[in-house]
């Protein structure tokens, strides 16, 4: 398939189509309150049943729905939220955090190499998506060094994750800068829920994982757990290792250990959490080294290493029935090799929040955050940072007022974050959100918000010399030089969102969201001046690029998530994403085609996921996961469909054996780069005692 240029009017047609869909659906929504009125106003759903009034025999006939497994209650949050539960993680068969995220609507996940994923929400996807904030137990794993997340080192015992909350759209009013396109919040279980031993052993044709966790009580009111996890992804994608410019990595080894301690005195007034972890990560890589004389390039095998750790303490205090406070402090350290270079960073973060109800129908949430980051880049022959070492601090205050304009009918949330940083000064990031319940189990919400992304260290301070092999015509080697820019402004987004949720019965719900994102001052590389010849040891042809706020852009999309419990033993979960992105140059100057080659990014226009979970019997589960991902037009990667399947058997309670097959439909497929993701299998034992 050859990419076709699309006339502008076709693009407008698509936008119009989305608007029309929203308009067509709107009158339907608007009719509901009238109906509700006709039936006598507010309907009371299932009343609270007092089971003490039942006799023993009657009780034996009551169908039980366990609280943890009941379908997600209709969320009252005026934002596009999706929650992945522990049960979802287990039944997906996924073995890493990015793979789990594939089930969420609006999230693009593509494997780039054995150790790299492109993960983004509502935007052009790339290796380090710079507008997506990721938090693990409140700790930001978004690195300011290059604005993005190192997905290869973000891991934990997947069985100990309680849930993953995915908030699409700007979360900046609460979370602050860089929560532009979305926030992914990974929350681990309270230590009281991970008591005793849990061992998991996983082995397959692509990976081996071992985890051990032990939890016990600590004193009268406390619980703890300690864990260790290691994995080996040794022979990943063997057949594709020799692809030029795509050094797929092998022999990936990772080990980590940590603990969590939760303390909650009987009075339930205060809660304390302490959590710590240390990890090391290593994989083989190929570095392409440059020499001034022919053949100019040599490939060197080397190891890419990363290690780090963190310590978090959190204290929650209940001041009264409708007022509480939270204070959190964390320290995080990492050292990571990037290409031939290395970056290490220490982060100290202090966060506090206070919620209270000053008068009826108003709930105020406000907080203060202070963050200090000290980083250091290693100098390499191709990358130089000026300065190599930098200390930065970020200060912010936010407040939010949740107003019940008409109790149980209409809520309005206004809030803003005021954030100061030394790159771009003060960033004001307000949001206005409204949710309306036309009748019970229906919610219509809308939001307008502004968010900002602060330039990364690389974008401000780098000088990177990328060597290009001389073409047959040229004599001198060509060097593409990237230059950082100290005068960059923050990238900003104004987002318009409209969503609808409906849960007509206990056993099914549908969430729909449409959005329009308007980006200003996007940072991109631009030819700084005409290419020139530089005289050093030998002549070099230099093509200098500089980071500039030179682009505007917009994206339009529609996201849908649906859940249907067909029978008590059979559940279906679906997600559909439509995303259309457009970038425009601020200046009339046309974009240099070579920039597109340097920064590889693209998103599929359509994505679809359907998960079927069947409990065949008390101890046998069978899951199927179908995914369709559209082609990447900018990357010339074709569309693919795939199926993962999982079958598990519990020979005895607390012991589970599962067999998982991944990417079964084809032998292999590309997702982002020329790397092909292959069909794989594994067997897993999960044993608690």
According to CB under 8 A, which residues from 585 to 624 bind another protein? 605-606, 608, 610, 612, 624
Residue (300 or 584) nearer to another protein, CB: 584
Q: Is 49 in the site for another protein (CB under 8 A)?
A: yes
Q: Is 10 in the site for another protein (CB under 8 A)?
A: yes
The HSE-up count of residue 363 (CA atoms within 13 Å, CB side) is 13
Q: Is 567 in the site for another protein (CB under 8 A)?
A: yes
Nearest-approach distance from CB 183 to another protein, in angstroms: 24
Among 85, 192, 316, 335, binds another protein (CB under 8 A): 192
Q: Do you know the residue count of the chain?
A: 689
The whole-angstrom separation of Cα 15 and Cα 67 is 41
Residue (425 or 638) nearer to another protein, CB: 638
* Segment lying near another protein (by CB under 8 A), choices 48-56, 90-98, 297-305, 342-350: 48-56
CA 557 to chain centre: 18
The whole-angstrom separation of Cα 114 and Cα 326 is 39
Among 45, 51, 472, 593, binds another protein (CB under 8 A): 51
The HSE-up count of residue 540 (CA atoms within 13 Å, CB side) is 22
Among 16, 23, 37, 54, binds another protein (CB under 8 A): 54
Among 63, 244, 407, 471, binds another protein (CB under 8 A): 63
Residue (207 or 521) nearer to another protein, CB: 521
Site residue total, another protein (CB under 8 A) = 72
Element containing residue 97 per DSSP (H, E) = helix 97-100
Write out the two tokens for 290. Answer: 């440059």
Among 67, 293, 537, 588, binds another protein (CB under 8 A): 67
Q: Label residue 138 left, alpha or beta by phi (over 0 means left) and psi (-120 to 50 means alpha).
A: left
Residue (162 or 305) nearer to another protein, CB: 162
21 backbone dihedrals φ, ψ, rounded to 5°: -60, -45
Cross-strand bridge partners of residue 187: 163
Residue (5 or 244) nearer to another protein, CB: 5
* Segment lying near another protein (by CB under 8 A), choices 135-143, 451-459, 485-493, 579-587: 579-587
286 exposure class (CB count in 10 Å sphere: 0-12, 13-18, 19+): middle
- Residue of 531, 524, 530 lying closest to 479 (CA atoms): 531
The HSE-up count of residue 523 (CA atoms within 13 Å, CB side) is 27
Q: Label residue 477 left, alpha or beta by phi (over 0 means left) and psi (-120 to 50 means alpha).
A: beta
Q: Is 55 in the site for another protein (CB under 8 A)?
A: yes
Write out the two tokens for 613. Answer: 């979970």
The whole-angstrom separation of Cα 672 and Cα 602 is 8
Among 26, 59, 405, 599, binds another protein (CB under 8 A): 59
Judge contact between 249 and 287, C-beta under 8 A: no
CA dihedral in degrees (520, 521, 526, 528; nearest 10)?
150
Among 580, 619, 657, 674, binds another protein (CB under 8 A): 580
The HSE-up count of residue 455 (CA atoms within 13 Å, CB side) is 25
Q: Is 66 in the site for another protein (CB under 8 A)?
A: yes
Only one residue has tokens 């891991």, namely 155
Residue (64 or 293) nearer to another protein, CB: 64
Contacts of 133 (CB under 8 A, 6+ apart): 140, 142, 171, 175, 178, 179, 180, 182, 183, 184
Residue (197 or 297) nearer to another protein, CB: 197
Nearest-approach distance from CB 285 to another protein, in angstroms: 31
* Segment lying near another protein (by CB under 8 A), choices 32-40, 56-64, 370-378, 457-465: 56-64
Site string for another protein, 617-656 (x = CB under 8 A): -------x-x-x-xx-xx----xxx-x---------xx--
Instruction: Tell me: cis bond preceding 674? Omega within 30 of 0 counts.
Output: no
Among 460, 581, 613, 658, binds another protein (CB under 8 A): 581
Cross-strand bridge partners of residue 70: none
* Segment lying near another protein (by CB under 8 A), choices 9-17, 150-158, 352-360, 408-416: 9-17
Among 65, 302, 388, 587, binds another protein (CB under 8 A): 65
Nearest-approach distance from CB 477 to another protein, in angstroms: 31
Instruction: Considering only residues 256 through 315, tell me which ones interact with another protein, judged by CB under 8 A.
Output: 266
Nearest-approach distance from CB 9 to another protein, in angstroms: 12
Among 24, 28, 40, 220, binds another protein (CB under 8 A): 220
Instruction: Considering only residues 14 through 33, tell me which ones interact with another protein, judged by CB under 8 A.
Output: 14, 17, 21
């Amino acid at each position: 398939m050859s990419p076709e240029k699309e006339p502008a009017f076709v693009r407008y047609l698509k936008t119009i189509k989305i608007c029309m869909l929203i308009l067509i659906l709107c009158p339907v929504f608007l009719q509901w309150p009238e109906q509700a009125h006709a039936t006598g106003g507010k309907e009371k759903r299932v009343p609270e049943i007092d089971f003490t009034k039942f006799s023993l025999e009657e009780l034996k006939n009551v169908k039980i729905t366990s609280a943890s497994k009941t379908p997600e209650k209709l969320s009252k949050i005026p934002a596009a939220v999706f929650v992945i539960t522990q049960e979802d993680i287990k039944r997906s068969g996924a073995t890493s955090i990015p793979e789990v995220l594939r089930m969420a609507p609006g999230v693009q996940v593509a494997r780039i190499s054995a150790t790299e994923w492109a993960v983004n929400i509502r935007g052009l996807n790339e290796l380090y998506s710079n507008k997506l904030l990721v938090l693990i137990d409140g700790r930001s794993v978004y690195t300011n060094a290059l604005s993005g997340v190192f997905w290869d080192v973000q891991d934990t015992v997947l069985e100990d994750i309680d849930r993953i909350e995915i908030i699409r759209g700007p979360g900046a009013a609460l979370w602050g800068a860089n929560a532009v396109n979305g926030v992914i919040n990974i929350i681990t279980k309270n230590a009281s829920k991970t008591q005793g031993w849990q061992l998991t052993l996983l082995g397959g044709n692509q990976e081996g994982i071992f985890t051990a966790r032990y939890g016990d009580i600590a004193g009268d009111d406390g619980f703890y757990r300690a864990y260790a996890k290691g994995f080996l992804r040794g022979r990943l994608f063997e057949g594709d290792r020799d692809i030029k410019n795509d050094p797929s990595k092998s022999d990936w080894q990772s080990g980590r250990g940590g603990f969590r301690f939760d303390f909650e005195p009987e009075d339930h007034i205060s809660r304390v959490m302490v959590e710590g972890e240390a990890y090391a990560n290593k994989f083989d890589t190929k570095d392409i080294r440059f020499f001034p004389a022919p053949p100019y390039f040599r490939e060197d095998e080397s190891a890419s290493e990363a290690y780090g750790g963190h310590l978090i303490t959190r204290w929650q205090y209940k001041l009264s029935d409708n007022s509480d406070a939270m204070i959190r402090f964390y320290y995080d350290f990492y050292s990571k090799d990037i290409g031939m270079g290395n970056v290490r960073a220490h982060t100290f973060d202090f966060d506090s929040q206070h919620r209270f109800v000053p008068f009826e129908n108003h709930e105020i949430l406000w907080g203060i955050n202070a963050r200090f980051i000290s980083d250091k880049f290693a100098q390499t022959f191709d990358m130089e940072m000026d300065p190599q070492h930098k200390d930065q601090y970020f200060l912010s205050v936010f407040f939010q007022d949740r107003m019940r304009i008409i109790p149980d009918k209409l809520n309005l949330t206004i809030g803003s974050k005021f954030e100061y940083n030394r790159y771009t000064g003060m960033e004001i990031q307000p949001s206005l959100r409204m949710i309306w319940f036309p009748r019970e189990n229906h919610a219509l919400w809308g939001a307008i918000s502004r968010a900002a992304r602060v330039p990364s260290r690389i974008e401000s301070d780098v000088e990177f010399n990328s060597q290009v092999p001389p073409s047959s015509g040229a004599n001198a080697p060509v060097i593409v030089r990237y230059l950082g820019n100290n005068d960059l402004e923050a990238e900003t987004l104004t987002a318009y969102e409209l969503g609808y949720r409906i849960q007509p019965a206990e056993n099914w719900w549908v969430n729909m969201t449409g959005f329009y994102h308007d980006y200003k001052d996007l940072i991109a590389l631009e030819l700084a001046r005409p290419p020139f010849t530089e005289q050093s040891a030998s002549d070099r042809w230099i093509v200098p690029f500089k980071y500039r706020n030179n682009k505007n852009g917009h994206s339009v999309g529609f996201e849908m998530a649906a859940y249907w419990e067909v029978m008590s033993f059979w559940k279906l979960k679906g997600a559909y994403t439509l995303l259309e992105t457009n970038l425009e140059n601020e200046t009339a100057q046309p974009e240099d085609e070579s920039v597109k080659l340097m920064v590889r990014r693209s998103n599929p226009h359509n994505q679809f996921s359907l998960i079927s979970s069947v409990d065949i019997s008390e101890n046998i589960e069978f899951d199927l996961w179908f995914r369709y991902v559209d082609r990447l037009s900018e990357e010339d990667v074709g569309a693919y469909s795939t199926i993962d399947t999982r079958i598990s058997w519990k020979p005895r309670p607390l012991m589970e054996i599962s067999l998982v097959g991944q990417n079964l439909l084809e032998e292999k497929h590309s997702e982002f780069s020329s790397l092909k993701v292959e069909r794989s299998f594994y067997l897993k034992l999960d044993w608690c005692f």
